[in-house]
Amino acid sequence: MNIRFPIVPVLLITSALALILGCSGSDNEPLQIIVSNSSGSQINQGEALVFSATGLASGEFPVMVEALTDTGDIASKVRLTADKSGAIDNVILAYDVGFWSSSGDGLLAPGHYTVRLTSSEGIVETDITIPDTPAGPIVWGCDIDGNLSNSFLEGQPVFVAAEALQAGVTYRIWPVKDRRSWSDGDIIKSWHQDNPAIVWPQDISEYIEVTADGEGKVEPTQLLAYATLLIPGVTDQFDIVLDAEPYAVFNAGTDAVDGRLPTGAVVQKPNDGDPIYAELAAYSDFTYSNHFHAGDTVNIWLNPAVLLEVTSRYVLKYILLHTTDWQDGMSLEDITGGIELDPVQIGCVNEGLILAWLAAEEGEYDVLLDINGNGIYDEGIDVLDGGPHGPGFVVQPLH
């Protein structure tokens, strides 16, 4: 079966710590940027390009991080707020490195890139290269032709494909509950084991078994007969694990995960054009909340329940005074002193955890993801935490 996206390999980090071009950062930490993959070592094809930074001013905004081509073009970018200690931790600069969907969407083709952080403390850079062959096993959710898919409509079959495997070896591929990260020795649990109180559809298997062909590939193979929202927390947000013997234990040398840091895939419903509401405001541990105390940090993240219309590679994040009278076309006014920006994941528009307000103040607020980045509220396109359903969150006095 023909794969319609180019086979793009692993990102190799040529310098883990950045070259410092400006002055030093805080007294406690040097100004530096560390680029890695979601497991903290090599970056394999299909994984997320992740970075952390230290030595910034406390709460600084904006901190700009860009992946630049040799010609100086911006391949991907983020605009962020540093935390109280002047750090940025595990932010995704590019999802699904080297993969393309059937629509042609994708980021970071083979070649050389400079990752540059610009701040008031100076500029730091590090170089990365995307060479021609994958460094280890890869697995991805896809359509029947092998095109990358991070989103499956409810009732749609889910296919998977894999490469850079050992020819002739039999693997298990598991759809499992979404995890924030995967490490050597993690137990791979089926959703049956992980949620014993739920009655599972009998026609959904714990895993499938596949054998790599002579080129070390698994052509697109059906993993699930249908995507379902009937299993909360599992098949509405799930990772896909490629598992070699010994089975049921994750081994980073022989196994692979689609969704090692971000979610591998989500099950969504069609967008009918109605207002899109979702939980967005969260603590730094990914716990959504409608209540914060004065001085708390407020973060934003999302795995949307409906398929979003994406016309921009980047999403803007707003925290606004609460209003019950949201109108299509309303202009947006952020009250935190900065509008964060970061890339979306192809197809599903997953949004990683981003610090959006360093020190919350008493009051009632709404949160909005400006999906098309135009600075106005577009009903049925943008995502709102609040509106007529009540404030997105309330900040109470610190007692």
- What are the extents of the domains in the chain? 12-130, 138-268, 276-396
359/31 Cα distance (integer angstroms):
23
Closest CA relative to residue 87, chosen from 125, 126, 55, 47: 55
Residue whose pair of structure tokens reads 């994040």 in the numeric block: 317
**Measuring CA to CA, how many Å separate 113 from each of 37, 70, 100, 116, 128?**
15, 6, 18, 9, 5
**pLDDT at residue 102, rounded to an integer:** 58
374/4 Cα distance (integer angstroms):
32
Residue whose pair of structure tokens reads 């955890």 in the numeric block: 353
Domain 12-130: give its CATH superfamily.
Macroglobulin (MG2) domain (2.60.40.1930)
Task: Output the CA angle 195-199-200, nearest 5 degrees.
Answer: 85
Residues whose CB falls within 8 Å of the CB of residue 46, separated by 6 or more in sequence, listed in order: 96, 97, 98, 99, 138, 139, 140, 148, 258
Q: Position 386: which residue type?
A: G
Domains 12-130 and 276-396 share a fold: yes
**pLDDT at residue 107, rounded to an integer:** 65
Closest CA relative to residue 261, chosen from 95, 83, 128, 88: 95
Name the token pair of 304.
């949307």
**pLDDT at residue 5, rounded to an integer:** 32
Residues of the chain with pLDDT under 70: 1-28, 37-43, 100-107, 130-132, 192, 194-200, 232-234
**pLDDT at residue 41, rounded to an integer:** 43
40/109 Cα distance (integer angstroms):
21
Residue 14 backbone phi and psi in degrees, to 5: -85, -15
Closest CA relative to residue 260, chosen from 108, 42, 107: 42
For the segment(s) 138-268, the CATH number from 3.40.30, 3.40.720, 2.60.40, 1.10.3470 is 2.60.40
pTM of the model: 0.85
- What CATH number does the domain located at 276-396 have? 2.60.40
